[in-house]
Amino acid sequence: MSTQNLSNKTLRGYISSRNINGSFYPQNLQNLLIRSFSTENNINLQLSGTEWNIDNSYVMLRSIINKNNDGLIFFSIFQIYDSRIPLSNFVNKLLLKKKLIVFCLENLVITNKNDLKLVLDALKIYKINNSKNYKLNLNNLKKISKVLK
């Protein structure tokens, strides 16, 4: 889904107190980006839930999933990618509830399983690109090239 279709949607923000993809982003910066993204795309933003700074804790995320809104707006996909919550399982649960998922920093919007597949494929390539394991990279690149043929 493009960001053009986000107009007048009501989304709940989600920010983190932990490092995101190896970097620390202050909460006020995360909120600023989410608010700016929401304003630019005419999104009705609900107050952001802030996750605790405890490894593998997703108490706030679990609590805001069932709130009355059209979906969630994250600061970054790396708040939940490579965590204990498998991204595809988490996003599929939200899609079943007819909710959309937005990742501001990467400018990604997921509204259906096709969007999810494209994002997961891009994340595989990202992971390969940032891995130091040559043999694993080669095997993964071969798998990807077969899919692209």
Question: Looking at the structure, do residues 85 and 25 belong to the same domain, yes or no?
Answer: yes
Question: Looking at the structure, do residues 48 and 117 belong to the same domain, yes or no?
Answer: no
Token pair belonging to 74 = 């994250």
- The kind and range of the H/E element at 39 are helix 27-40
Count structural domains, the chain: 2
Question: Looking at the structure, do residues 19 and 73 belong to the same domain, yes or no?
Answer: yes
Question: Looking at the structure, do residues 100 and 132 belong to the same domain, yes or no?
Answer: no
Residue 72: predicted pLDDT: 95
pLDDT in tens, the chain (149 residues): 556 689 999 999 999 998 888 899 999 999 999 999 999 999 999 999 998 888 777 888 888 888 889 999 999 998 887 655 677 888 888 999 999 999 999 999 999 999 988 888 888 777 767 766 656 666 666 666 666 65
Question: Looking at the structure, do residues 88 and 117 belong to the same domain, yes or no?
Answer: no
Residue 100: predicted pLDDT: 93
Question: Looking at the structure, do residues 100 and 118 belong to the same domain, yes or no?
Answer: no
Token pair belonging to 123 = 């994340």
CB 15, CB 52: distance < 8 Å:
no
pTM of the complete model: 0.81
Question: Looking at the structure, do residues 98 and 142 belong to the same domain, yes or no?
Answer: no
> Which domain does 59 fall in, by range?
3-111
Token pair belonging to 11 = 């989304």
Question: Looking at the structure, do residues 39 and 93 belong to the same domain, yes or no?
Answer: yes
Residue 32: predicted pLDDT: 96
